[in-house]
Amino acid sequence: MLTLLKLLKDGRFHSGQALGAALGVSRSAVWKQLQLLESNLNLSIHKVRGRGYQLAAPLELLEQDQLTASPWPVSIHDSLDSTNAEALRAIDSGTAAPFVVTAERQTAGRGRRGRKWVSPFAENIYYSLVLRMDGGMRQLEGLSLVVGLAVLSALRGVGISDAGLKWPNDVLVGNKKIAGILLELVGDPADVCHVVLGIGINVNMRVASEVDQAWTSVFLESGHSVNRNALISKLNDSLLVYLKRHATEGFSALQAQWEQNHLWQGREVSLIAGVHQVDGTVMGIDQQGALRMSVNGEEKVYSGGELSLRLRHDS
Q: What angle do CA 208, 104, 207 make, to 5 degrees?
A: 15
CA distance 15 to 289: 57
Q: Is 83 marked as a binding-site residue?
A: yes
Q: Is 112 marked as a binding-site residue?
A: yes
Q: Is 89 a catalytic residue?
A: no
Q: Is 51 marked as a binding-site residue?
A: no
Q: Is 111 marked as a binding-site residue?
A: yes
Q: Is 84 marked as a binding-site residue?
A: yes
Q: Is 138 a catalytic residue?
A: no
Give the active site residue among 32, 115, 116, 310: 310
Q: 31: burial class by Cβ within 10 Å (0-12, 13-18, 19+)?
A: middle
- Give the residue from 185, 159, 182, 150 showing the smallest Cα distance to 261: 150
Give the active site residue among 166, 177, 228, 234: 177
Q: Is 106 marked as a binding-site residue?
A: yes
Q: What are phi and psi of 270, to 5 degrees?
A: -120, 130
- Give the residue from 276, 312, 87 showing the smallest Cα distance to 302: 276
Could you tell me what percentage of the chain is helix, strand and coil, using 3-state DSSP and rounding each to the nearest 5? Answer: 30, 30, 40
Is-cis flag, bond preceding 71, omega within 30?
Answer: no
Q: Is 144 marked as a binding-site residue?
A: no
Query: Does residue 227 sit in helix, strand or coil?
Result: coil
Q: Is 166 a catalytic residue?
A: no
Contacts 24+ apart (CB under 8 A), 281-285: 282/167, 282/309, 284/259, 285/142, 285/145, 285/167, 285/255, 285/258, 285/259
Q: Is 177 marked as a binding-site residue?
A: yes
Give the active site residue among 112, 166, 228, 234: 112
Query: Does residue 153 sit in helix, strand or coil?
Result: helix
* Residues assigned a catalytic role: 112, 177, 310
Show binding-site residues for biotin.
82-84, 106, 110-112, 177
Show binding-site residues.
82-84, 106, 110-112, 177
